[in-house]
Amino acid sequence: MNDILLTDSQNKKKLVIVTGLAGSGKTIAIHALEDLGYYCIDNLPSVLLKSFTDSIKSEKIKYPHIALALDSRDKDIPNTFQENYEVLSELCHLQILYLKASDDVVIKRFRETRRQHPLNTNEPRLSLIEAINLDIVTLEPIKNLANRILDTSNMSTQNLKRFLHNHFALSDLKKHLLLNIVSFGFKYNSPNDLDTIFDVRCFKNPHYESHLRELTGLDPSVKNYVFSDNRVQPFIDKVVDLIQFLYPLYLDEGKHYFSIGIGCTGGKHRSVAISEELARIFRETLPFVNVEHRHAELE
């Protein structure tokens, strides 16, 4: 019996082929799939496609989720892919996403970015519409194999990312995103990668207690001091309520991370203790919670 047919379907890799017209959003799509946890390969040459298939078959490639972007810059790609299609279909849970857009939209996108069409780099030079038509004809064989054909003419970048999240997210990421809780010190400037910032400088400062000054908010004595301020627990409760409200909204937007910052003066005491408590609370209900102390060791 063919050894390919013996493959346990539960152990099959998930392989998404992203192809389609230049200017239709392939680069955005491959980056979005990378954010979703796929191992991404962009513009694999036709001479390596057979080796890729062989590596899947021999299990040399260990990644369980792979996204492969193919385009018409390599004119042999359509034929080579057709030659490997059946084997890849048997070895993997294979999905082919073909992206397209109207001529007018593709022309507009190239003019806005002032980039050259990838098929217009060799002599004789083609007009933009000629390059678009050549792209369409070249990729027709792969388009005919596609599971999904998506017209991005009227889609924003965010809408395309949302589509990919809804249709290609791995099971855990469809329901959850990573909640990243970051403590920091305002004296070192607030990090620029945060979605929301809470300022906790209004609470009692352990820095002014000599026996606590050299410790951080990870120390139980510092935490006890911070939470002895009877305003801290109501603050925690309100932050938890707000994050629980915002979390599904961020998820619906196709986001993969929700980063909240907790800032105090030096990022050593109050922000650390409060961030740890928030992380403890959210870990009771959310699968992906990370806590990071940016400035705790700088004081």
223 marked among binding-site residues: no
Secondary structure class of 13 (helix, strand, coil): strand
261 marked among binding-site residues: no
Strand ranges inside the chain, DSSP E: 13-20, 39-42, 65-69, 92-100, 148-151, 178-185, 196-199, 257-264, 289-293
20 marked among binding-site residues: yes
The answer to whether 196 and 250 have CB atoms below 8 angstroms apart is: no
On the 0-12 / 13-18 / 19+ scale of CB atoms within 10 A, 135 is buried
CA distances from 188 to 181, 222, 278, 291 (A): 17, 21, 22, 18
25 marked among binding-site residues: yes
Task: Tell me how far apart the terminal alpha carbons of the chain are, to the nearest angstrom.
Answer: 67
24 marked among binding-site residues: yes
104 marked among binding-site residues: no
On the 0-12 / 13-18 / 19+ scale of CB atoms within 10 A, 176 is middle
The side-by-side arrangement of strands in the sheet containing 257-264 is: 196-199, 257-264, 178-185, 289-293
Q: Which two tokens stand for residue 288?
A: 């992906």
152 marked among binding-site residues: no
71 marked among binding-site residues: yes
252 marked among binding-site residues: no
185 marked among binding-site residues: no
22 marked among binding-site residues: yes
Query: Which of 3, 25, 175, 188 lies closest to 100, judged by CA?
Result: 25
- What is the CA 80 to chain-centroid distance, rounded? 29
- Find the length of the chain: 299
246 marked among binding-site residues: no
Binding residues for ATP: 20-27
Binding residues for GTP: 71-74
